[in-house]
Amino acid sequence: MAQSRRHPRGHGTINVICPRCSFYYTAEISGRRQQADCPQCGAFVGEVDPEGGLVVKCVCRRCGLGYPVDVSAPAPAFTCPGCGSAMKLGERALLRKFGEVWRLRRSQKEEPAGEGGRIDLDEMEIGADLLARVPRSLALAYACVPVRFENDVLTVAVKEPLQEGTLEDLAFLLGCKVQGAAVPAAALDRALRRFYGAEGPA
């Protein structure tokens, strides 16, 4: 596997092979920057195996062998089967992070926008404590309004089509699992003006 570069705040890289187009590229996850998608075709860094796990095709930094690593396994094998070279700690951490991102994306696909039931924002009263969970700057930037917080899961009203990565970004920034509930764009715009003072058409 190609040598990882050390950066402040846990930044790092790892060389992988795209599961869709076989493009060889450097993937990175660090803070808000998440270059886990293939720059050639847009596929996620890993592919789902028949048993539902996530496999990442890595490249050994010593012998250049490409080999799969099941990052969803309880104890992933972080050793090259060709030369026996072990991955560096930073590379292992990145692969575990890929697994976390994949699980989050999978949960969002299994619980698509709208799973929280029908929401009538025009009739809904949202308390100050709930609104405080999503700062005004984030609510306006991501066009969302918090409508429920139960069992450490925040439900936000969003409009369809949902922009790629919105719920993932919010989960990272807010520090909790975030799920979406689809509402009409006009209703969401009215709610943003009502609860956050956003500017827009009446």
**pLDDT per residue as tens digits for the range 6-21:** 333 444 677 888 777 7
* Number of domain units in the chain: 2
For residue 167, the surrounding DSSP H or E stretch is helix 166-174
* Average pLDDT score, the chain: 76
Clarify whether residues 87 and 155 are in a common domain: no
119 assigned to some structural domain: no
* C-alpha to C-alpha distance for 87 and 85, rounded to whole angstroms: 7
Does some domain include residue 120? no
Specify burial of residue 136 (Cβ count, 10 A radius: 0-12, 13-18, 19+): middle
First to last CA, the chain: 56
Residue numbers of the domain that contains 171: 128-196
Residue 116 belongs to a domain: no
Q: 2 lies in a domain?
A: no
Average the pLDDT over each of 44-58, 101-115, 132-146, 164-178 and give the range with the smallest value.
101-115
* Mean pLDDT across 161-171: 75
Q: What band does 195 get if pLDDT is binned at 50, 70 and 90?
A: very high
Q: Give the distance, in angstroms, between the CA of residue 190 and the centroid of all CA atoms in the same chain.
A: 28
Residue type, 177: K
Q: What is the pLDDT of residue 189?
A: 92
pLDDT for 138 equals: 92
Same domain, 99 and 138: no
Burial label for 72, CB within 10 Å (0-12, 13-18, 19+), is: buried
Tell me, yes or no, whether 15 and 43 share the same domain: yes
**Residue 152 belongs to a domain:** yes
Comparing 201 with 20, which gets the higher pLDDT? 20
Is residue 202 predicted with pLDDT exceeding 50?
no
